[in-house]
Amino acid sequence: MSLKVGVIGTGMIGQDHIRRLTQVLSGVEVTGVSDIDASRAAAAAPQGAEVFATPQALIRSDRIDAVVICSWGPAHEEQLLDCIAAGKPVFCEKPLVTSAEAARRVMDAEVGFGRRLVQVGFMRRFDADYRRLKAVIDGGTLGLPLIYKSVHRNASVPPGLYTSEMPLNDTLVHDADISRWLLSDEVTGVEVRLPRRSRQGGELRDPHMVLLHMASGAIVDVEISVNIAYGYDIRGEVSCETGIAALPNRPATVITDAHGIRQAIPEDWRERFIEAYDQEFREWIAAAGQGTATGPSTWDGYAATLVADAALEAAETGQLARIEMGEKPGLYDLPLQQAA
Amino acid sequence: MSLKVGVIGTGMIGQDHIRRLTQVLSGVEVTGVSDIDASRAAAAAPQGAEVFATPQALIRSDRIDAVVICSWGPAHEEQLLDCIAAGKPVFCEKPLVTSAEAARRVMDAEVGFGRRLVQVGFMRRFDADYRRLKAVIDGGTLGLPLIYKSVHRNASVPPGLYTSEMPLNDTLVHDADISRWLLSDEVTGVEVRLPRRSRQGGELRDPHMVLLHMASGAIVDVEISVNIAYGYDIRGEVSCETGIAALPNRPATVITDAHGIRQAIPEDWRERFIEAYDQEFREWIAAAGQGTATGPSTWDGYAATLVADAALEAAETGQLARIEMGEKPGLYDLPLQQAA
Amino acid sequence: MSLKVGVIGTGMIGQDHIRRLTQVLSGVEVTGVSDIDASRAAAAAPQGAEVFATPQALIRSDRIDAVVICSWGPAHEEQLLDCIAAGKPVFCEKPLVTSAEAARRVMDAEVGFGRRLVQVGFMRRFDADYRRLKAVIDGGTLGLPLIYKSVHRNASVPPGLYTSEMPLNDTLVHDADISRWLLSDEVTGVEVRLPRRSRQGGELRDPHMVLLHMASGAIVDVEISVNIAYGYDIRGEVSCETGIAALPNRPATVITDAHGIRQAIPEDWRERFIEAYDQEFREWIAAAGQGTATGPSTWDGYAATLVADAALEAAETGQLARIEMGEKPGLYDLPLQQAA
Amino acid sequence: MSLKVGVIGTGMIGQDHIRRLTQVLSGVEVTGVSDIDASRAAAAAPQGAEVFATPQALIRSDRIDAVVICSWGPAHEEQLLDCIAAGKPVFCEKPLVTSAEAARRVMDAEVGFGRRLVQVGFMRRFDADYRRLKAVIDGGTLGLPLIYKSVHRNASVPPGLYTSEMPLNDTLVHDADISRWLLSDEVTGVEVRLPRRSRQGGELRDPHMVLLHMASGAIVDVEISVNIAYGYDIRGEVSCETGIAALPNRPATVITDAHGIRQAIPEDWRERFIEAYDQEFREWIAAAGQGTATGPSTWDGYAATLVADAALEAAETGQLARIEMGEKPGLYDLPLQQAA
């Protein structure tokens, strides 16, 4: 029995997920789509899928078991609340919502429902390199984690479209989420430092150095560079009490030629994380088939929102911006502890 | 429309392929199974699949679009000929057949049918590391390939069950096939040298050094060690005219501790090639859905048989054993040239 | 004509330098020694060397062309001033002196003399790995340096003897000096953050994270761990505008065994920097033979003192501690610019 | 007391050794030189050194404690015999002599003298990477060595001057000597295979694949490429019973840029082995000061001659060329066993 999925939002990322759900993964079919641009929805709909006039109609339809939200951020809250009201598992691309208050409303609804339904699109948690790294840390043979260095480098960002707030608002959330997950920890404060500006991005503030203070006392040190030119380079290294664990080089051919002995760097996030996206949906399908969700939760989406807000504040004040998450509902206890 | 697949042979590898076809891959369902042990077939059959009394019945059934052969080697020839007679695409685990004459009979039948139907289970060709390596060589920026060094190391083999002929008869075929594919070349002669015997395997002849002389003049230098203890370590390095291209380390966590800075080695072939097996079937399903086959062909299975025979002869004589493949039917022109 | 050198202080490091000057290097001989413990001096004196009753007597002797100071820190100022008064080139182990005021007095004397005479013992600048790294940065092909990550890990420190101030007072100076040299830059402010405490060192504050704000705007991010157990691990990575340059793994044998594919980490600083010490003295001898000094200068020793003071202050306040070095005397213009 | 050394032959390599003995190393001075071109000898002579009219005059002079032979190969035998007659330690650049018979005559003389006096210039044995590799093998934790893969790649050789015999006559000796030393073994037979010819060298036979059969049964597999364009790349990997040990990448800066993550390859043998040459002479000076020699011996030079002869024969016949060294004089027992 295949899981019948409806996709809301058929832009670039929505289309990619439709491809993944129909051509790559098993046990799933796309039975409905919806988009504010009805013709785009029609074009993106796979054979046999219904084009719904509204997200609400899709969510409530008997032909839909579970929902994938790829609409723009401001629409997420209402769509998530509708899914929860309908008791349907939902995968929501990041950002979960666009404010802490909205995140709390979604959490309240889900807690009221009494079972997890929401998975947020932090795909790094499904990447095999990160999972092996977490397994090493969780294994405990290196002692407790003390410092985590996260490096997030983009070859380039679109000039004009990508603003100076986005490294902290948009890019940092991946590092923050993966840090919380790797260390099984929460962020309690954020500091931002601005090194000498790269001339690669003109007036854009770049790079950023961000320090995340964690509840355990561990410090996460994030380097964000968005115009590094040479490729998409994601690095992570955990200093523990008696050893270090780090993400490996990507498995590119080892070439020896006039440029030395070398391995290519991925060009972009698609190349780097394509298998992680597949695995993310594979696990979502399995959980949704059971009427629930695992993986990154509403609580994780809420945390991401708080970190982004705090980072923007810290960049402005130059001081530590503290984060108070409040008590975590019991519903969300599992995901952080859960070994990969 | 899913491809309806029948699986012949439900031992360990057959069961693993049934799992893959039902739980991992999309666009396919297992609708029939057959085994000489009917109760084993019944136990392995997924829900809704028919248990056929004979391979022939399975192959001829209307409920079967395409066939996966996982029976033992001596049964392959007849099953392959039946598939070709029925015009059904077939995936055949190695060895294709157990003699050069049998391979020629299967080729004759397939050529007579006029379209490729057979894919042989050389899964390395579907491994991402090997594909990137081939892309570098085919790209030509390093000049022509002159020497290829293939290293094939197993942690251990079952004492008694694994005999001194098997490194040449069973293990070498992977290195020979991947060499032919990587270099777009054919083997014309084989030499075998026996280094000092490892005490790890008792009386077993191990390791082996094999030289494959290729039609282009390139030499392939294969090290086979089957009791190396530390893991399953597959290496490959191509010396070209102006540079070297090699398989990378596997992407294991980089740990720094009392043992140094290090990356784990895979334990066995399952860990090393699991994604390659998935991809192998993904592409087989796509081709079978079109009523044909791509990937390793009957010609490639024939070549493997000739190399194994020549290697056994070379080990005995200490001399070069020459290989005469005869003319390649036009049907098989594509696979070797085909870029990954 | 060999350079006749007098060594003041014949403890462990003094003895090691005597060995180096007599057994390893050419163009030099040790003609005098002095120590507060006269019997230790006598024991350490090579054949034919005179044991002087006081440092002053050694410094002023006609048998001494140049001086190596390995006494304890508080004695350095007077000995350095005596050397300058005598117009004799002097190599001074770190710390140059123990206060910023003392450093200024030594600088004033040297400037008054009108020629550089003092080289401070920052041996990392003579390490081949660091020199190649600097050459890459100075070459400019990666653009300007924006962030430098320095990692300084010791296997262990003696409990009790090594206090919580020493990571900032004693260990950090190496990272600070090499950062100034690599980036051709000056430190203008220091921040200190204390991650979760490692249980390896009991009550010792460890690890430390230090941010050095540089005059150019670049930020140096230093991780200091002094009880990491696994070895002595020195790392450095410079993020530039269009690329990254980093220190390589040390050239240890690549072993593949049950612990993976791996390279050993040095045990301690002796193993890591032994060639750098040799090269440091090789260059000192060459300059001293010309009656002057190159390499790390009094200015660099002064900077180190200021950074250590600021780091201790920053650790106490949790705030940025600013550094005002004042104007650099023209005498010291060369060393920072000087390519390796 | 410095060792007084006379240098015979003041061409490029002789001049480099004079520089090394006068400017780099301690405990040694060059007190005499000799060359068939007297004006070249005069130009190369350091201050205070005597220019001798003949090698014999230099060897017999009271001003000379030990001799360095850098003349051309055909002159070596007589000069070595003169040194032995005079009882003076002698360092002889390769080739020791130009025939097996000549090598035996020099051995007979040295054995007659009763103490080792000759060290042959196989500098790889003094390279830190090779020494660490040997220490791992000798340590025995990986079991016995079974296969050694030696890779010898030159960026280019001078067209015309470098003939098709030279890879086997001139280049191979380094791989053969290091193999004997690493494995503490002797070569008993040689096979040569010629892969597809590289177009980099025109009509030059290149690359070569050479198999050395060792007395222990181990096989050494040598790849020699002399026009690989990209650099001077020396590799070595030993397959033992339970693990692998290999030379590391050279310690070049790790650069990440548009060419990937990479380390530069040495340009030529000077860059690669400069420290090995220094260490080679450091140890020679120490032994010569004791009136004897350690390191590569006359026996090792004899072995090199036999391997080169056998390789040329094997290349011609395509068959295994056997080597019979005869009994090793007791005088030469130590060097091969001796741990680095």
Q: In chain C, what are the domain boundaries?
A: 3-123+277-298, 124-267+299-304
In D, residues 44-103, which contact C (CB 8 Å cutoff)?
Answer: none
The answer to whether residue B128 neighbours chain A at the CB level (below 8 Å) is yes
Q: Rg for chain D (alpha carbons), in Å?
A: 20
Say which amino acid occupies B211. Answer: L
Q: Apex CA D230: angle with CA D229 and CA D235, to 5°?
A: 110
Residue of A nearest to B255 (CA): A245
Model pLDDT for residues C206-232, shown as the tens digit of each residue? 999 999 999 999 999 999 999 999 999
Closest partner residue to C257 (CB to CB) among D133, D142, D253 is D142
The DSSP code sequence of A26-67 is SSEEEEEEE-SSHHHHHHHPPTT-EEESSHHHHHH-TT-SEE
Q: What is the pLDDT of residue D15?
A: 97
Q: Do B262 and C264 touch (CB under 8 A)?
A: no
Instruction: Name, in order, each residue with C-beta under 8 angstroms of B306's C-beta and a sequence gap of 6 or more.
Output: B100, B187, B323, B325
The answer to whether residue B254 neighbours chain C at the CB level (below 8 Å) is no
Q: Do D230 and B239 touch (CB under 8 A)?
A: no
Give yes or no for a cis peptide into C167 (omega within 30° of 0).
Answer: no
Give, for C237, the enclosing helix (H) or strand (E): strand C233-240
Closest partner residue to B244 (CB to CB) among A24, A28, A256 is A256
Q: How many other C-beta atoms lie within 10 A of the C-beta of residue C91? A: 26
CA distance B130 to B248: 10
Q: Where are the alpha helices (DSSP H) in chain D?
A: 12-19, 38-44, 55-60, 76-86, 100-113, 128-139, 166, 172-183, 269-288, 298-317, 333-337
Q: Do A259 and D256 touch (CB under 8 A)?
A: no
The answer to whether residue C279 neighbours chain A at the CB level (below 8 Å) is no
CATH 3.30.360.10, domain A124-272+299-323, yes or no: yes
The answer to whether residue A149 neighbours chain C at the CB level (below 8 Å) is yes
Distance (Å) from the alpha carbon of C148 to chain A's nearest alpha carbon: 10
Q: Do C260 and B257 touch (CB under 8 A)?
A: no
> Testing the interface with B: which of A253, A274, A275, A285 to mutate, by most B Cβ within 10 A?
A253
Residue of A nearest to D266 (CA): A260
> Testing the interface with A: which of B23, B256, B282 to mutate, by most A Cβ within 10 A?
B256
The answer to whether residue B264 neighbours chain C at the CB level (below 8 Å) is yes
Residues C243/C143, Cβ–Cβ less than 8 Å: yes
Angstrom CA distances, C231 to C200, C225, C234, C270, D251, stand at 13, 11, 10, 12, 19
- Kindly report the backbone phi and psi dihedral angles of residue C63, in degrees, each rounded to the nearest multiple of 5, phi listed first: -80, -5
Q: What is the pLDDT of residue B15?
A: 97
Closest partner residue to C147 (CB to CB) among A218, A223, A233 is A223
Q: Which residue has the tokens 């370590």?
A: B233
Here the tokens at position A60 are 């409530």
Q: Do B243 and A249 touch (CB under 8 A)?
A: no
User: Considering chain B, what is the average pLDDT of its residues?
Assistant: 95
D261 contact residues in A (CB cutoff 8 A) = 249, 262-263, 265
Residues B231/B119, Cβ–Cβ less than 8 Å: no
Local confidence band at D334 (pLDDT 50, 70, 90 cut-offs): low
Closest partner residue to D255 (CB to CB) among C28, C129, C243 is C243
Here the tokens at position B287 are 């081709």
Q: Do C262 and B264 touch (CB under 8 A)?
A: no
Please list the pLDDT of chain A residue by residue as tens digits (340 residues): 699 999 999 999 999 999 999 999 989 999 999 999 999 999 999 999 999 999 999 999 999 999 999 999 999 999 999 999 999 999 999 999 999 999 999 999 999 999 999 999 999 999 999 999 999 999 999 999 999 999 999 999 988 889 888 999 999 999 999 999 999 999 999 999 999 999 999 889 999 999 999 999 999 999 999 999 999 999 999 999 999 999 999 999 999 999 999 999 999 999 999 999 999 999 999 999 999 999 999 999 999 999 999 999 999 999 999 999 999 999 998 644 343 3
In A101-225, at which residue ranges do the beta strands (DSSP E only) sit?
A: 118-120, 145-153, 187-193, 208-214, 219-225
Residues A243/C228, Cβ–Cβ less than 8 Å: yes
Closest to B239 measured CA to CA, from B145, B143, B140: B145
CA distance A13 to A40: 13
D27 contact residues in C (CB cutoff 8 A) = 23
- Provide the angle, in degrees to the nearest 10, between the axes of the packed helices C100-113 and C298-317: 160
Angstrom CA distances, A192 to A226, C144, C217, stand at 16, 21, 14
Closest partner residue to B255 (CB to CB) among A136, A255, A256 is A136
Subunits next to A (3 or more Cβ pairs <8 Å) are B, C, D
Q: Which residue has the tokens 């390589």?
A: C248
Model pLDDT for residues C77-94, shown as the tens digit of each residue? 999 999 999 999 999 999
Q: Do A195 and C229 touch (CB under 8 A)?
A: no
D258 contact residues in A (CB cutoff 8 A) = 229-231
- Kindly report the backbone phi and psi dihedral angles of residue B45, in degrees, each rounded to the nearest multiple of 5, phi listed first: -70, 125
Q: What percent helix, strand, coil does chain D show, rounded to 5?
A: 40, 25, 35
Closest partner residue to D253 (CB to CB) among C26, C136, C242 is C136
Predicted-complex ipTM score: 0.94
What sign has the CA pseudo-torsion D253, D254, D256, D259?
Answer: positive
D229 contact residues in A (CB cutoff 8 A) = 257-258
Query: Strand, helix or coil at A189?
Result: strand
Residue of B nearest to C258 (CA): B230
Q: Do D221 and B221 touch (CB under 8 A)?
A: yes
Q: What is the pLDDT of residue B334?
A: 65
Q: What is the pLDDT of residue A340?
A: 37
CA distance D333 to D298: 12
Q: Is the pLDDT of residue D340 over 60?
A: no
Say which amino acid occupies D294. Answer: T
Closest to A311 measured CA to CA, from A182, A211, A219: A211
CA distance C286 to A61: 86
Helix/strand/coil (H/E/C) assignment for every residue in chain B: CCEEEEEECCCHHHHHHHHHHHHHCCCEEEEEEECCCHHHHHHHCCCCCEEECCHHHHHHCCCCCEEEECCCHHHHHHHHHHHHHHCCCEEECCCCCCCHHHHHHHHHHHHHHCCCCEEECCHHHHCHHHHHHHHHHHHCCCCCEEEEEEEEECCCCCCCCCCCCHHHHHHHHHHHHHHHHHHCCCEEEEEEECCCCCHHHCCCCCCEEEEEEECCCCEEEEEEECCCCCCCEEEEEEEECCCEEECCCCCCCEEEECCEEEECCCCCHHHHHHHHHHHHHHHHHHHHCCCCCCCCCHHHHHHHHHHHHHHHHHHHHCCCEECCCCCCCHHHHHHHHCCC
Q: Do B253 and A248 touch (CB under 8 A)?
A: yes
Distance (Å) from the alpha carbon of B97 to chain A's nearest alpha carbon: 32
D92 by Cβ neighbours in 10 Å (0-12 / 13-18 / 19+) ranks as buried
Q: What is the pLDDT of residue C337?
A: 39
- Kindly report the backbone phi and psi dihedral angles of residue C199, in degrees, each rounded to the nearest multiple of 5, phi listed first: -80, -5
Q: Do D207 and B144 touch (CB under 8 A)?
A: no
Q: Do D242 and B195 touch (CB under 8 A)?
A: no
Angstrom CA distances, D307 to A260, A311, D214, stand at 32, 69, 11
Instruction: Name, in order, each residue with C-beta under 8 angstroms of D224's C-beta and a sequence gap of 6 or more.
Output: D152, D153, D167, D171, D172, D175, D206, D207, D208, D209, D210
A24 contact residues in B (CB cutoff 8 A) = 26
Assigned fold of B124-266: Dihydrodipicolinate Reductase; domain 2 (3.30.360)
Closest partner residue to C26 (CB to CB) among D23, D129, D141 is D23
Closest partner residue to C261 (CB to CB) among B256, B258, B263 is B263
Q: Which residue has the tokens 């719904």?
A: A52
The answer to whether residue B132 neighbours chain D at the CB level (below 8 Å) is no
Closest partner residue to A233 (CB to CB) among D233, D256, D262 is D256
Model pLDDT for residues B150-176, shown as the tens digit of each residue? 999 999 998 888 988 899 999 999 999
The answer to whether residue B138 neighbours chain C at the CB level (below 8 Å) is no
The answer to whether residue C251 neighbours chain B at the CB level (below 8 Å) is no
Q: What is the pLDDT of residue D333?
A: 87
Q: Which residues pair with B189 in a beta bridge?
A: B213, B322
Q: Is the pLDDT of residue B77 over 90?
A: yes
Edge to edge, what strands does the sheet with A50-52 contain?
A50-52, A28-34, A3-8, A66-69, A90-92, A118-120
Q: Give the HSE-up count for residue C317: Cα atoms under 13 Å, Cβ half-sphere.
A: 12
- CATH dotted code for B3-123+278-298: 3.40.50.720
- Provide the angle, in degrees to the nearest 10, between the axes of the packed helices B128-139 and B269-288: 70
Domain C124-267+299-304: state its class: alpha beta
Q: How many other C-beta atoms lie within 10 A of the C-beta of residue B200? A: 20
The answer to whether residue A207 neighbours chain C at the CB level (below 8 Å) is yes
Angstrom CA distances, C48 to A133, A296, D27, stand at 60, 75, 15
Q: Is the pLDDT of residue C64 over 80?
A: yes
Here the tokens at position B179 are 């060499």
User: Considering chain D, what is the average pLDDT of its residues?
Assistant: 95
Assigned fold of A3-122+277-298: Rossmann fold (3.40.50)
- Kindly report the backbone phi and psi dihedral angles of residue B87, in degrees, each rounded to the nearest multiple of 5, phi listed first: 70, 30
Assigned fold of C3-123+277-298: Rossmann fold (3.40.50)
CA distance A80 to A106: 7
Residues B21/B41, Cβ–Cβ less than 8 Å: no
C256 contact residues in B (CB cutoff 8 A) = 230-231, 233, 265
- CATH dotted code for D124-268: 3.30.360.10
Q: What is the pLDDT of residue B337?
A: 39
Q: What is the pLDDT of residue B118?
A: 98
CA distance B289 to B66: 8
Closest partner residue to C241 (CB to CB) among A144, A147, A200 is A200
Local confidence band at B318 (pLDDT 50, 70, 90 cut-offs): very high
Q: Is the pLDDT of residue D331 over 70?
A: yes
C28 contact residues in D (CB cutoff 8 A) = 26
- Kindly report the backbone phi and psi dihedral angles of residue A286, in degrees, each rounded to the nearest multiple of 5, phi listed first: -60, -45
Angstrom CA distances, A265 to A131, A149, C81, D147, stand at 20, 19, 54, 34
Query: Strand, helix or coil at D156?
Result: coil
User: Considering chain C, what is the average pLDDT of its residues?
Assistant: 95
Strands C260-263 and B260-263: antiparallel
Q: Rg for chain A (alpha carbons), in Å?
A: 20
Overall size of chain B counted in residues: 340
D228 contact residues in B (CB cutoff 8 A) = 239, 241-243
Say which amino acid occupies D274. Answer: I
Local confidence band at C1 (pLDDT 50, 70, 90 cut-offs): low
CA distance A304 to D68: 72
B25 contact residues in A (CB cutoff 8 A) = 26
Residue of B nearest to D196 (CA): B217
CA distance B320 to D191: 13
